[in-house]
Structure 1
Amino acid sequence: MTSVSVVVPTRGGARTLPLLLTSLREQTHPDWEAVVVVDGDVDGSADLVAREARDLPVRTLVLPENRGRSAALNAGFSLAEGDVLVRSDDDLGFGPAHLARHAAHHEAAAAPIGLVGLCRNVYPDGGSYARAYGVPTDARFRAAAYAAPADRTWRYWAANVSVTSETWRTIGPYDESYRAYGWEDVDWGYRLRRAGIPVEIHADVEAEHHGAAATTEDRALRAFYSGAARQHFLRTHDLGDGAALLGDTGAGDGLWGRAVLSVAAITDERRLRRLGDVVDRINRALPRPAAEKLVALLVEGAAVAGHRAGRTAGAI
């Protein structure tokens, strides 16, 4: 029987951790453990996990201060004892066969693989952002991921992925220089690609994501931080502008591209907080297609602005 370890980095995850732990309680796979790494306890997450996991094979490691997601992941993986190592965010929910399916894919593989399960964003409260942008954009993202050619699947290495313990030792730890939001996972997926290990995306290991952006402000800030982290990734691996490798060249030409660049030119973290709220209020009165375009303009402009800045004052 293939044993499975689930590694969960968390900071401020007290609201969503119970959902994850409940889904772990329902797993059909008989041989699993979870390692929850609390990256500086700011909301009682450590006590919450201890209470919820009294009758579950869950261990908790509490870091005394915030060290960043990469450091928390590395600490968790160093403690994990399973044959298959599943990386999970603290705001996911799994179906009962989730861990069994992760294990089965690795058992069936003729050679080492990296396994990606996409995350379906859950918007329980709806709202103008979810209606205008969140739901349709999520659907397009997932469709593009399933259609991605084999040499691009590593780009989707993220919150619900797995490798064998042997592959983890081969690739090595996450890069702890990623201290803000985003791209530490893409970096690890890129290292899988460089090592010649194929990355496969399978629909039967999808998970629900309960921590998706729920407002335009939140989504635009994530885009800004991700843009800055993208710059760090390109510099770390000496990849220039990354166009050939990543297949996305920024705003591009044409009227839309010029509009995105215009937004980027006047955008920073402080302005994004105000602009996002304004967009959500305007969108309540707009037809859905127009509202989607307005959100997309701010999100894409924020990503370009973050990439240009290359650094952030804060993170989420």
Structure 2
Amino acid sequence: MSEAPRCTVIIPTYNRSELLSHTLESLTRQQLPADQFEVIVVDDGSTDDTADTATHFHDRLDLRYHHQPDEGFRVAAARNIGIADARSPICVFTDAGVLLHTDNLTQHLASHQATPGPAAVLPYLYGFSGDDTNIDAVAERLDLHDLDGSIERLQAKRECRDIRELFYDRYGEDLTRVPAPWQIFWTGNASADTAQLRAVGGFDENFRTWGGEDIDLGYRLHRAGTHFTFNRHAKAVHIPHERAFDELMASATVNYRYMAEKYRTPSMRILAELPPRQFLDFNELVGASTPQE
């Protein structure tokens, strides 16, 4: 039997075969040897050529493909399939359309190795603005044949920065100093210990619309003692695509209310009541008015 991989990359996807192809291509170029990680693609009922796209990479990646019927938005269930199937101690979540710097997986692993006890690692995701304002800028600056160079140029010029840079500017990069680091545990690219993910029950599959399922999981990981850490060197770039921002925020707000009812904690009540565009105020409000949860 072959040696277990060091990490498992879990990619949920739905009708984004071209973006998935770019993500998988970036995984073939990782500094981490291909026999030290596995890739699990979970298809949430696609009708395009997603299955063929995944199959195309079987000879270059240790890749398994799962398909679940299209029964609406079930990204939480898709990621749970990946967690259940993972053979490694660390799960790295990545969305289709997120392209990983060649050092990305190595940096995730380094952060886990440097952290005593279970860890959740947040990377730096260029192009992730929270809406579609970066579409043209990323398209102009991204060279798919020189992904590392593209990311490093964005870094040098401080362009197309991760929206969470605003969070770090305000609160700092040491996530142990903020009361609710789980607020920015966004699974476009993030990692956590497999055993801890399973222990807290994985993603809540009651989330059937966009928004909140990742921070809901982050909240439970935090309460279970997971150490949250930010690694600026775990770099990736998000290819923005047009989205109805106001509709997505409305969906997230409904899901935050579900979380407030589910947990009935002060921090969740604040989250449910805070206007989406004031997300930077959340940790300050939590720190000022609630005990550590």
Q: What's the TM-score, normalizing by structure 1?
A: 0.69
- Tell me the residue number matched to 1:221: 247
Query: Which protein, 1 or 2, shows the higher relative CO under an 8 Å CA cutoff with sep ≥ 6?
Result: 2
Distance 2:172 2:41 in 1: 29
User: How far is the alpha carbon of 1:146 from its aligned partner?
Assistant: 4.7
Identity %: 23
Q: What whole-Å deviation, never above 9, does each CA across 1:27-68 have from its counterpart, x for those lacking one? A: 111201100000102222111111234322111111133360
Which of residues 39, 48, 63 is equivalent to 1:43?
48
Paired residue type of 2:63: V
Give the total of aligned pairs: 243
Structure 1 residue runs of 5 or longer lacking an equivalent are 128-133, 252-298, 302-316
- Tell me the residue number matched to 2:23: 20
Q: What whole-Å deviation, never above 9, does each CA across 1:109-162 have from its counterpart, x for those lacking one? A: 2222111124222635249xxxxxx96893535645754633221111112111
- Tell me the residue number matched to 2:13: 10
- Tell me the residue number matched to 2:262: 236
- Tell me the residue number matched to 1:79: 85
CA contact (8 A) 1:85 1:163 kept: yes
Paired residue type of 1:83: P
Distance 1:178 1:144 in 2: 30
Distance 1:142 1:119, change over 3 A: farther
Distance 1:241 1:161, change over 3 A: closer
Structure 2 residue runs of 5 or longer lacking an equivalent are 129-133, 139-158, 279-293
Structure with max Cα Rg? 1
Moved over 3 A (4+): 134-137, 141-150, 239-244
- Tell me the residue number matched to 2:149: none
Q: What's the TM-score, normalizing by structure 2?
A: 0.74
User: How far is the alpha carbon of 1:70 from its aligned partner?
Assistant: 0.6
- Tell me the residue number matched to 2:97: 91
Distance 2:118 2:171 in 1: 21
Distance 1:239 1:213 in 2: 35
Q: What is the aligned-residue RMSD (CA, Å)?
A: 2.8
Distance 2:97 2:28 in 1: 15
3-state DSSP of counterpart to 1:204: strand
